Every structure is written in C-alpha cells, then in structure tokens.
C-alpha cells in the first residue's frame, strides 16, 4: 500500500481510504467489523466516517456508523496506528434530528458534534475533522449553478476556524479538512487561516470519478499549489462504474436498487459513458471497477481514494485496485471518452 502526506503535515495516510457510510444501513455491525479488519490487513490506515452516517440518513440510524467503528476500535486496540476522519454536519432542514435542526458551524454546534463523535468512536482525538458541507448556500451535492441568497445568514468562516483552533489546542483534533467545498470557500478558509494563525485545511473531500471530473476545473490547481489534497469520494459513482447497472439492470440489494433517491448517476449520459468505460476496461483485460479506481488514485492531487463496499468480494476487489497501473494507451482512450461525454454525473 502506498502512503501519502496529508497536506503539509507529517501525517501519512494510505492511498486507499475505507469509506464507511454503509455501516448501519446496508451492513450490520459484524459485517462492518469484518470490513475494517480486511482493510487494515491490506495496509489501509485511513478510515473515514461522519456523524450523520449511515446514508441515506435517517433519525433511527443517525450515528450508528461511528458507534460501529468505536466498538471495533475498542475491541481491536492500536488506535495510534490509524488515521480516523469524521465530519460535523452542516446547515440543512433535511436533517431535523441533528441538534433540533439548528446545526451550523458555530461554537455550540461544533463542540456538541465533536464531543459526540469522540464518545461514539471511543477515542480521545480525531485525526482529521472535516466540515461536511458549506454553512452557506452554494453549489455542492451536484448543483452546478450558483444562486445567491441575499438575506441568508451563515456563520463567518473566521468564527468557525477559531472554534476548530480551540479543538486543536485542546487536543481533541489533530488536523482539519473541508468537504463538498467550492474554490472560493477553499481559498477563503486557507486565506483566513494564514492571516490569523488559525488551523489550515489539509484536505478537501469532494466527489471525483470518471463520471465527475469537475474538481479539475477550479479546485485541482488549489489542491496542488496550496497542498490541500483531494480525498476523492464516490470514485465508482455509487457502483455505477462497475457496470452492474448497465442496460437497466438493478441487482438485488445494490445501493441504487434499494435507494431510488440516488439518481445522480443514473441519467442517460451517465449510462452511455459508463458503457464506454466498461468496454474499454474489458478490452484491456481489466476489471471495470478497478480501472475506475486506479484512474482516481493516480491523479496527482489525490491524497486518498475513498472506497466503499457492502460485501467482502467488493471490498477485496476495490483494495486490489491499489496495485493497478494504467498505461498511456488506456489513459488516452479514457480522455477520448471523456471528451465525447464530459462529466455526465456532476
């Protein structure tokens, strides 16, 4: 397993990170622990979660993912060998069960969130604490067009950073990161951190895959020049790039089969692009999912690729993608497909 620096720090994380948002919804606690065992045995030292997980979020399953991981950490030991990342939920009336629908990035909410996560994860500190999505209205979660809300109040970024600085000072957090953030937001966090001597974001967790390369447009240069590396989530487009949903197939138990709300990756353009990528992989004797993951992991601004699975075979297949190297012929063919059908699932 390859290891890479987290931002400008000396912390090294595996190039593959285990994403856990299925724990508590599609995976039982026993299955979650088996995944954690398998991933760490394969050399993964980086585990990502969030207080709102599992997904799709529901009041009855809220925080189960962190609880499962905490029980595993307590049973396993060796906490200092792992890099644990979690996230504080942002503003949104679609999660009324989180802090009575008043969740935002101010001091009371962030302090309540971190203390809850520490308790559930059964640890004294979080290695990487991330703001799950912007506190302000902007374009994320697939929204491309920016629409200004003139009367909207959002917590000032400097105020949020000062709360996070206190958590770092208290030893509850080692590093901070962003998620689902825009170029303006990322630069503002970095600018204010430098200006006021506050914690600097070491990473940004945004979607990136063969079906969604919008990160390259405005954020890749920031990630490179500012050493704020990408933690790429949805690298398989909710499993679409494995090819299992082609021709309208809906395998029993698969995420998109179970949860129709995940329509971001099921439009006609996505299906056409996916068919071309799957054909390319198979023509070169590659597993389509492994080719898609290897493409993401090789990107120069990617610090780690977040994989997720619901069964042992999927997990092992995804872990094995760390050993795949794509040659120039395949990379050039990928660029042709991308040019013909760019970013069908932004």
Q: Is residue 270 part of a domain?
A: no
pLDDT, average across residues 287-313: 97
- Catalytic, out of 53, 125, 233, 245: 53
Q: List pLDDT tens digits, range 151-205.
A: 888 999 999 999 999 999 999 999 999 999 999 999 999 999 999 999 999 999 9
**Span of 22-36, 134-148, 331-345 with lowest mean pLDDT:** 134-148
What is the number of structural domains in the chain?
1
Is 68 assigned a catalytic role?
no
Residue 202 belongs to a domain: yes
> In angstroms, what is the C-alpha Rg of the chain?
19
pLDDT tier, 257 (very low <50, low <70, confident <90, very high otherwise)? low
According to the model, what pLDDT value does residue 68 have? 98
Closest CA to 223 of 207, 202, 208: 202
- Asked if the structure places residue 101 within a domain, the reply is yes
Asked if residues 164 and 173 have their Cβ atoms less than 8 Å apart, the reply is yes
In 3-state terms, what secondary structure has residue 88?
A: strand
Structural domain includes residue 341 = no
Position 117 confidence tier, pLDDT thresholds 50, 70, 90:
very high
pLDDT tens figures, 79-91: 999 999 999 999 8
In a domain, 130, yes or no: yes
Q: What is the pLDDT of residue 263?
A: 67
In a domain, 256, yes or no: no
172 lies in which domain range? 3-239+300-324
| Domain CATH for 57 | 3.20.20.100
Whole-number Cα distances in Å, 39 to 36, 237, 251, 313, 341: 5, 20, 25, 12, 34
pLDDT for position 260: 67
What integer best gives the mean pLDDT of the chain? 94
Tell me how many helices (H) and strands (E) the chain has: 12, 10
């Amino acid at each position: 397993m390859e290891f890479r620096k987290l931002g400008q720090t000396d912390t090294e994380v595996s190039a593959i990170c285990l994403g856990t948002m299925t724990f508590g919804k599609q995976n039982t606690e026993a299955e979650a622990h088996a995944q954690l065992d398998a991933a760490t045995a394969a050399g993964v030292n980086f585990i990502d979660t969030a207080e709102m997980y599992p997904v799709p979020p529901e009041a009855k399953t809220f925080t189960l993912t962190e609880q499962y991981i905490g029980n595993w950490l307590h049973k396993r030991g060796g906490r200092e060998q792992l890099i644990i990342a979690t996230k504080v939920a942002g503003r949104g009336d679609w999660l009324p069960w989180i802090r009575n629908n008043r969740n935002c990035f101010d001091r009371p909410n962030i302090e309540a969130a971190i203390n809850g996560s520490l308790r559930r994860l059964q640890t004294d500190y979080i290695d990487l604490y991330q703001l799950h999505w912007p506190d302000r209205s902007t374009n994320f979660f697939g929204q491309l067009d920016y629409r200004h809300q003139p009367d909207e109040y959002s917590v000032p970024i400097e105020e949020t950073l000062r709360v996070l600085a206190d958590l770092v000072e208290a030893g509850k957090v080692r590093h901070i990161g962003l998620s689902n953030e825009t170029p303006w937001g990322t630069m503002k966090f970095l600018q204010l951190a430098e200006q006021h001597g506050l914690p600097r974001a070491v990473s940004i967790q945004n979607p990136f895959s063969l079906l969604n390369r919008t990160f390259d447009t405005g954020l890749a240069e920031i990630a490179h020049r500012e050493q704020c590396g990408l933690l790429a989530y949805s690298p398989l487009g909710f499993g679409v790039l494995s090819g299992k949903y082609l021709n309208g197939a809906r395998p029993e138990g698969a995420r998109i089969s179970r949860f129709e709300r995940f329509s971001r990756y099921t439009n006609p353009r996505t299906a056409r692009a996916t068919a071309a990528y799957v054909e390319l992989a198979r023509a070169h004797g590659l597993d389509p999912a492994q080719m898609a993951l290897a493409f993401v992991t090789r990107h120069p601004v990617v610090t780690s690729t977040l994989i997720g699975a619901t069964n042992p075979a999927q997990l092992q297949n995804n872990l094995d993608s760390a050993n795949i190297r794509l040659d120039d012929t395949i990379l050039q063919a990928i660029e042709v497909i991308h040019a013909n059908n760019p970013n069908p699932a932004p």
